[in-house]
Structure 1
Amino acid sequence: MTLIAILLVLAIERFVGAVDHLRHFGWFRTYSRWCENRLSTRSLWQGPFGVIVILLPPLLLLAVIIQALHSVTPVLDFLLACAVLLYCLGPADLGHQVSRYTEALEAGDRNAAAEAHAAFINHHWHPYGPLGGTLASLLEQANVRLFAVLFWFAVLGPVGALLYRLTAELYRHYHEVHGGFANSIRDLYNLLNWPTTRLSALGFALAGNLVDAIEGWRRAEARSLAVNEDVLIESGLNALQFPQVYDTDADDTGSENVAAGSTTAGEPHSEDIISWIEMARGLENRTLIVWLSVLAVMTIAGVVS
């Protein structure tokens, strides 16, 4: 049932269209602020207890509803699981945002391109230049918006998918805050991302250039055990062989800041940007196929229900 639910939800995303308008987490932000206003003065709040207080009630409520529906009929249980998974993806459709960006580039509309780019860019500076930052953001966002949600749904069901999405929402609002509560959110977020980033890195390796992807993973892992994003990005970029092309172009132009295909430092051609983005999106899609294939084998073997 897990595989069927995932395939059904992905089909809805692909053929019905983005459902971003249904994915609102304002209720959770209001609820978390309410908890913080009433409990932030207590010493227990400044640590894991505060995170548990915020996350446990909605997760427990979902678990109770699932159990109640399952006792009536498994069909209702399945439909709720699909609805929760669909709700937890995103929350914004990455493919739609990227399409807006590439269409603006093709049209030569710099303002529209900049606005669309800001919707998914996380890495404003990157060792491989602006284009490297764009590709790094795509790889990271693919994990946050899709792969991690699918993984925790497969492991813990709808509760796992909601756990990851709510944790990601907390992290998005508290990642620049310092304190025991914010640190606990970061720790939980990193813990949830640890297996998904490495499985995504493995998927990138299998779906792209295996040797270079594994080498990029190895270099990133050697820095620290808390390098989820580095592992994901280095393996993904090396699977695309972007660093090798970047280094070649940098040597040819004599500038260390020139991204692949650029004529001036930090200003790649629109055609090159679109080409690399399409390759990155292709890598993500092939990695998704690898994941689904493995899940199908595990389902047939009875490892996953």
Structure 2
Amino acid sequence: MTWTVMAVVAALLIGHVLPQVSRWRDFTWFERWLDIVRRAGSGETPWHQYGGVFLCVGLPAVVLALLVGWLEGVFAFLVALAAMLYTWGPRDLDLDVNAIIAAEGLDAKERAAGALYEEGQTVSLEGPVAVAAVFENALTRWFAVLFWFLLLGPGGALAYRLLYLLVHHKHDMTLPEGLRSAAAKTLNAAHCPPAHLMTLAMALAANFDKVVQVWRAWYAEGGPRLDYAFLAAAANASVASELADEAADAEDGPSSAPALLELRDAMSLAWRMLLLWLAVLAVFVLAGLVN
């Protein structure tokens, strides 16, 4: 395997086996960089707004990309691995979901479920909402990072993570509204390609007919657009279909609460999708399409 696949697999294994690596993901330098860009001013025109996004997010990513391009062999691999470890997560999704299932009592489960929601969002253990939260986190923690890493290299992974932090992180300074709006639109656009590929993997790893039906209905409503609401809808349809099949096969009925069963199946489906991505990536490597 090439260094690209090796870095991806190594980052995945290290992040899962050593969850404490999340403590290394310190982005305080990004706050200082944002303050420098804010002081420079982002202007009022759309060009200046998106230009500000590029300064905040793109410039550090370009520096990293140039560094990787300058290095060779094992040094390039180590930088790529560090970039994947740094931008992956920030926590292990599997461990967060297992913590919810293992927690005793509704209050403890809701506290554990807070790891799946952004600050200010209502924490809910309701089945469809929890499933949507699992796949939103799978997108932002795993698949979007992996997609932009494979497409643009370590600089792409760093650009995505910084863009996500620019939109969702609570910053110490007040950023211009135009800059925040442009960053939110850019992040939404950055999520669309990996979300579509996730849905394709979901169709192959779960109920193909259900997923394609939801996907087709979303396109029929408004045509192609910069939105990925279909991902949560397809995930809920897939999980509901799997639970229905399990209930039909079970003799004693479900052994857990429905919401916990949906969380378990959602996490299992996300893992199968990730493994399918890695399998396709390995085929591309063997075919010489990825280096």
Q: Same fold (TM over 0.5)?
A: yes
Residues 88 and 149, structure 1, Cα contact 8 Å, conserved in 2: yes
Q: 1:120 to 1:82 in 2, by over 3 A?
A: same
Separation in 2 of the partners of 1:206 and 1:14? 25
| Identical positions, percent | 30
Indicate the residue corresponding to 1:160 in structure 2. 156
* TM-score normalised by L of structure 1: 0.81
Provide Cα deviations, 1:205-259, integer angstroms capped at 9, x if missing partner.
11111100111112223334335331211121112236996xxxxxxxxxxxxxx
Q: Does 1:235 align with 2:234?
A: yes
Q: Tell me the amino acid that sits aligned with residue 221 of structure 1.
A: Y
Separation in 2 of the partners of 1:166 and 1:193? 14
Indicate the residue corresponding to 2:136 in structure 1. 140
Equivalence map 1:20-35=2 (5 Å): 20-35=22-37
Bigger CA drift: 4-13 or 194-203? 4-13
Equivalence map 1:164-175=2 (5 Å): 164-173=160-169
Q: Does 1:271 align with 2:257?
A: yes
Instruction: Give 1:47 shift.
Output: 1.8
* TM-score normalised by L of structure 2: 0.84
Residues 87 and 161, structure 2, Cα contact 8 Å, conserved in 1: yes
Q: Tell me the amino acid that sits aligned with residue 186 of structure 2.
A: L
Indicate the residue corresponding to 1:89 in structure 2. 88
Equivalence map 1:70-81=2 (5 Å): 70=72, 74-81=73-80
Separation in 1 of the partners of 2:273 and 2:211? 13
Residues 91 and 145, structure 1, Cα contact 8 Å, conserved in 2: yes
Instruction: Give 1:102 shift.
Output: 1.4
Q: Tell me the amino acid that sits aligned with residue 214 of structure 2.
A: G
Residues 51 and 185, structure 1, Cα contact 8 Å, conserved in 2: yes
**For structure 2, which runs of at least 5 residues remain unmatched after alignment?**
245-253
Separation in 1 of the partners of 2:225 and 2:90? 25
Instruction: Give 1:29 shift.
Output: 2.4
* Residue 215 (structure 1) aligned to one of 204, 213, 216: 213
**For structure 1, which runs of at least 5 residues remain unmatched after alignment?**
246-260, 262-268
Indicate the residue corresponding to 1:47 in structure 2. 49
Indicate the residue corresponding to 1:284 in structure 2. 270
Q: 1:227 to 1:215 in 2, by over 3 A?
A: farther
Q: 1:44 to 1:142 in 2, by over 3 A?
A: closer
Instruction: Give 1:196 shift.
Output: 0.1
Instruction: Give 1:156 shift.
Output: 1.1
* Residue 119 (structure 1) aligned to one of 102, 115, 129: 115
Instruction: Give 1:44 shift.
Output: 6.9
Instruction: Give 1:302 shift.
Output: 0.8
Bigger CA drift: 149-158 or 28-37? 28-37
Instruction: Give 1:195 shift.
Output: 0.9
Separation in 1 of the partners of 2:112 and 2:47? 38
Provide Cα deviations, 1:77-132, integer angstroms capped at 9, x if missing partner.
1011011011101122222222221111xx22x33222111121367499xx9221
3-state DSSP of counterpart to 1:47 = helix
Residues 205 and 236, structure 1, Cα contact 8 Å, conserved in 2: no
Bigger CA drift: 197-206 or 8-17? 8-17
Bigger CA drift: 112-121 or 281-290? 112-121
Q: Tell me the amino acid that sits aligned with residue 262 of structure 2.
A: W
Separation in 2 of the partners of 1:133 and 1:44? 35
Separation in 1 of the partners of 2:273 and 2:5? 16
Q: 1:139 to 1:171 in 2, by over 3 A?
A: same
Aligned pairs, number: 273
Provide Cα deviations, 1:157-201, integer angstroms capped at 9, x if missing partner.
101111111111112148xx9943223212211221111000000
CA RMSD of aligned residues (A): 2.7
